[in-house]
Amino acid sequence: MNSQQIEKKIPFKDILDKSLRIFFSDAMRITLKNPLQAYYFYRTVKWQRSSARVRSQFDNQGIKVPPIMIFSITNRCNLHCKGCYHHALQRSNKQEMSADKLRSIFSEAENLGISFCVLAGGEPLVRKEILDITREYPKIVFLVFTNGLLINDEVLLKLKGQNNFVPVISMEGYEEGTDSRRGKGVYQNLQNTIKAIKGKNLFWSVSLTVTRTNFEGVTDTGFIRSLINMGCKLFFFLEYTPIKEETEDWVLSDEQRSQLLIIRNSLRSQFRALFITVPGDEEEIGGCLSAGKGFIHINAEGDVEPCPFAPYSDTNLMETSLKDALQSEFLRTIRESHEHLNETEGGCALWIKREWLSKVYHAHTN
């Protein structure tokens, strides 16, 4: 069933809202041994329902508000990983937004019904103030994608009681795979970081970039079990998108892409943990979620973009409100272009259709 057929039967926003409720209900279930964390996810399910009602009210006014906001809060990073999409996109050297501006955006997002925020970079923990800012918004769940090397005793102390802050540590499997991409010694440092996180009884996650060459390593049941034994409750399998030149051969084969979904389902049946594939899970709920259909991306300078892999923007939050930015005609055109973004080819739809995307952008900005 393709995304157009799904939307004819059930409104897409209802499918996505239900999927998020299921996600947090599952999160509550797998954290029952940690009553405080489980109680937070119980409350989160209620907040998600409330936020969904707010989004529906805006939808009735013709304003499409996604439940998820991806926010690259800085371009700075303490590593220089091979194949990094952020470095490859050559972000501008404009000044990143201030802490007060971040607060303003989070406040408006919460009022609009956005209840799920992915923080990225660069390395988001380069901005130490983010730990204080996220504490001010307990109804927003912050998934913080980090290389993990800046998580120290000071950070862990600030995370105490901050159940809405979920570290998502990036790895490429065991030591050889992780160090070959991220640098010598990174894997062992992460082992120490993970032990420290486990000692604080925090909910944490891992992000595994899946390539053609590391496929067997990052999907190995023994590797997954070792992380679960160390307290990991949430796994993201991210298919590599070849934005960096000369990395096209990192892309999964069709056979591997199909196998990844089979492995995901098997892991779900074996372990008390959450397993998500990207873009695989997107396809199952209606295709590409970019441009405000399911999420939008904000870069460190305030540009509102369809996706982290699509650095095109006709609005900037230093000049306009988030509410007004979401009504961008450029974003609307992408949302309504199912014939271009049906993910039957596999991989990131916007990257596959980047020539079409560039034409759409220039049509709206010239």
The span from the first CA to the last CA of the chain, in angstroms, equals 37
Report yes or no: 73 and 121 within 8 Å, Cβ to Cβ.
yes
Q: What is the pLDDT of residues 132-179, one digit of tens each?
A: 999 999 999 999 999 999 999 999 999 998 999 999 999 999 999 999
Taking alpha carbons only, the member of 74, 87, 73 closest to residue 117 is 73
Pairwise CA distance, residues 129 & 99, whole Å: 7
Calculate what percentage of the chain has a pLDDT beyond 70: 90
Pairwise CA distance, residues 14 & 116, whole Å: 16
Pairwise CA distance, residues 33 & 363, whole Å: 54
Report yes or no: 275 and 262 within 8 Å, Cβ to Cβ.
no
pTM of the model: 0.91
How many residues are listed for the chain in this entry? 366
Q: For residue 119, what pLDDT band results from cuts at 50, 70 and 90?
A: very high
- Give the residue-averaged pLDDT of 65-81: 93
Predicted confidence (pLDDT) at residue 2 exceeds the cutoff of 60: no
Report yes or no: 315 and 326 within 8 Å, Cβ to Cβ.
no
Find the range with the poorest average confidence among 35-39, 111-115, 228-232, 279-283: 279-283
- Give the residue-averaged pLDDT of 111-130: 96
Please name the helix (run of DSSP H) or strand (run of DSSP E) that holds residue 180, with its range, or none: helix 175-182
Q: For residue 32, what pLDDT band results from cuts at 50, 70 and 90?
A: confident
Q: For residue 280, what pLDDT band results from cuts at 50, 70 and 90?
A: confident
Taking alpha carbons only, the member of 187, 245, 192 closest to residue 218 is 187
Quote the pLDDT of residue 1: 37
Predicted confidence (pLDDT) at residue 245 exceeds the cutoff of 70: no
Quote the pLDDT of residue 342: 64
CA within 13 Å, CB half, 23? 18
Predicted confidence (pLDDT) at residue 5 exceeds the cutoff of 50: no
Retrieve residue 84's tokens.
């990094």
Pairwise CA distance, residues 144 & 165, whole Å: 7
Q: For residue 67, what pLDDT band results from cuts at 50, 70 and 90?
A: very high
- Give the residue-averaged pLDDT of 240-250: 76
51 CB contacts (<8 Å, ≥6 apart)? 67, 113, 114, 115, 139
Quote the pLDDT of residue 7: 42
CA 359 vs CA 243, 305, 349, 350: distances in Å: 18, 15, 15, 12
Predicted confidence (pLDDT) at residue 246 exceeds the cutoff of 60: yes
Q: What is the pLDDT of residues 321-357, one digit of tens each?
A: 999 999 999 999 999 886 667 654 556 788 888 889 9
Retrieve residue 156's tokens.
């862990």
Taking alpha carbons only, the member of 110, 103, 80, 76 closest to residue 91 is 76
Coil vs helix vs strand at 276 = strand
DSSP character string of 24-78: HHHHHHHTTTSHHHHHHHHHHHHHHHHHHHHHHHHHHTT----SEEEEE--S--S
Average pLDDT score over the chain: 89
Query: Which pairing describes strands 141-146 and 304-305: parallel, antiparallel, or unpaired?
Result: unpaired
More confident: 213 or 283: 213
